[in-house]
Amino acid sequence: MINKVGVIGSGTMGSGIAQVAATSGCQVKLYDTNQAVLDKAELALDKILSRLIEKGRIDSEEKNRIQSNISYVNNLKDLADSNLTIEAIIENIDIKKKVFSELESYVSDDCIIASNTSSLSIASIAASLKNPKRCVGIHFFNPAPLMKLVEVIPAIQTSYETLEKSIDTISSWNKTVAVAKDTPGFIVNRVARPFYGEALRIYEEGIANFATIDSAMKDIGGFRMGPFELMDFIGNDVNYTVTETVFTAFYFDPRYKPSFTQKRFAEAGYLGRKSGIGYYEYDKSGKIVLEKDSNISIEGDASQKIFNRILVMLINEAADALFLNIASAKDIDNAMTKGVNYPKGLLAWADEKGINWCVDHMDELYNEYREDRYRCSPLLRKMKIDNKTFF
């Protein structure tokens, strides 16, 4: 039974993971080299829990229980008694490997050593350990206490016991687990790429402005945020880096090609909400006060075409993830609804629209652009021939 958890890195993600584990009754040690950052994390948790009391979600007794389950440490050796350690530090594989190698010398032989990386190779990280069988990817989504999904990613070295223990533990923390193959972006950060990339492409072609594209996805598709709002929320520097990482990791597959528009916005410091300006301008409370490039207008059924184009690209990516055994159909749809709050699972959406509709729309895009970016997934094409559905 896993009841002692070490979390490495006390930033937003690490602190959130610590809160989740502590809420579920685990004894948690939150580690960081910087004492000031640890103090900030402790203060932030107090404010978060106090707000939950104000909202009636917890009482003061529960707040005290959660707080008492977390201790803040600045020596990696303090994690020695952990059953499970989860690393949530900078997305730099060399730094992660160094930390993992040192950590292994302190913890017990049966301690699971996990990484919260969103896109780096778990196999490569595991290779830094003397016993790589104990290593696994456990990827939470931000904010960790609120987002239901956790991707669990076994490396080729990961033992069955490590995988099963990880799944059971995360499930016991009231999270939905999606098991993903160790490939770039796993499920969510791979399948979601067209939501951003195709929206940027539509803008660069001069078809519509940021606000119009966002409105199409929200009003027609029921998405909570449009692509440009979401990129501003994530940060254009972060989102561009992930796109560039996935593009490189997939040997420059044109489906994941980054956008010059986003690159220039990142270079200009137009990062989104955190800088006060991105695709939109924001006031101090984070509310949009000015929409950029509002001079582009569209008429007729253009919004429907924008929505169809982005949706079919998302469906095609989800279908290809299933085709390549990245995850099960159920886990792919759970990942998108519970990891990034999509209104429907993409494969269920494909069934609703019709497989013929999906293939025909992909073929229309390919015939118009003649780019490999718009190649239809072999799985969709085969399903059309066989008259099958995903569910």
| Catalytic residue list | 118, 139, 151, 189
Helix axes 236-249, 260-268, angle to 10 degrees: 140
**Based on the number of CB atoms within 10 Å of its own CB, is 42 exposed (0-12), middle (13-18) or buried (19 or more)?**
middle
DSSP SS3 for 75: coil
Tokens for 367, please give them: 């015939």
Give CA separation, 232 vs 19, 199, 307, 380, in Å.
26, 13, 20, 32
Q: What count of residues does the chain have?
A: 391
Beta bridge partners of 72: 30
In angstroms and rounded to an integer, the radius of gyration of the C-alpha atoms of the chain is 22
Rounded to a whole number of angstroms, the distance between the first and last alpha carbons of the chain is 35
Beta pairing, strands 112-115 & 84-87: parallel
Helix axes 302-323, 378-386, angle to 10 degrees: 90
Please name the helix (run of DSSP H) or strand (run of DSSP E) that holds residue 44, with its range, or none: helix 35-54
Distance, in Å, from the CA atom of 35 to the CA atom of 41, rounded to the nearest integer, reads 10
Q: Which runs of consecutive H residues, i.e. helices, occur in the chain?
A: 12-23, 35-54, 60-68, 93-104, 122-126, 160-172, 188-191, 193-204, 210-215, 227-234, 236-249, 260-268, 302-323, 329-339, 346-353, 355-369, 378-386
Residue 230's φ and ψ, nearest 5 degrees, are: -70, -40
The DSSP 8-state label assigned to residue 134 in this structure reads G
